[in-house]
Amino acid sequence: MAKGSRSQIKRERNAQKDTRPSAKLSYARVSVQKACFVLDAIRGKDVQTALGIVAYNPRYASTLIEKLLKSAIANAENNNGMKAENLYVAECYADKGPTMKRIRPRAQGRAYRIEKRMSHITIVLDEKK
């Protein structure tokens, strides 16, 4: 157990908090593997280039990530007072979410399982130095 009062523990935890602007999409109906194809393409790029990449990417996940990227940019401008020209994608990753399990009837009374996977997608921006 941590030492100190509750308020001291909370103060220390809040001091370590990441202040970079970010946006998170929970329970996106796309698998982690499919989302990572698009996320790998925009990681480390400046936001204008990243928006161009996702706008012309034919994958379904790119529409979700484009919306999420625009949200992260708006968060940076409104909450942190940053300029959009100086921003780049510092981190972007997809974590595994819950899986919906469905049944597919097969021949001779058998049943196969269909797994409809979900993911939690996070984009973290930062300013160029």
Number of H helices, E strands in the chain: 4, 3
Q: Is residue 2 part of a domain?
A: no
Asked if residue 1 is part of any domain, the answer here is no
Whether the model pTM is above 0.95 = no
pLDDT digits (tens, 9 = 90+) for 68-79: 999 999 999 999
Tokens of 96: 């595994």
Say which CATH number the domain at 106 has: 3.90.470.10
Residue 14 included in any domain: no
Residue 50 is encoded by which pair of tokens?
A: 């990243």
Let me know if residue 15 belongs to a domain: no
For the chain, the domain total comes to 1
pLDDT tens per residue, range 45-68: 999 999 999 999 999 999 999 999
Structural domain containing residue 107? 21-127
Alpha helices by DSSP H, listed for the chain, are 6-15, 32-42, 47-55, 60-79
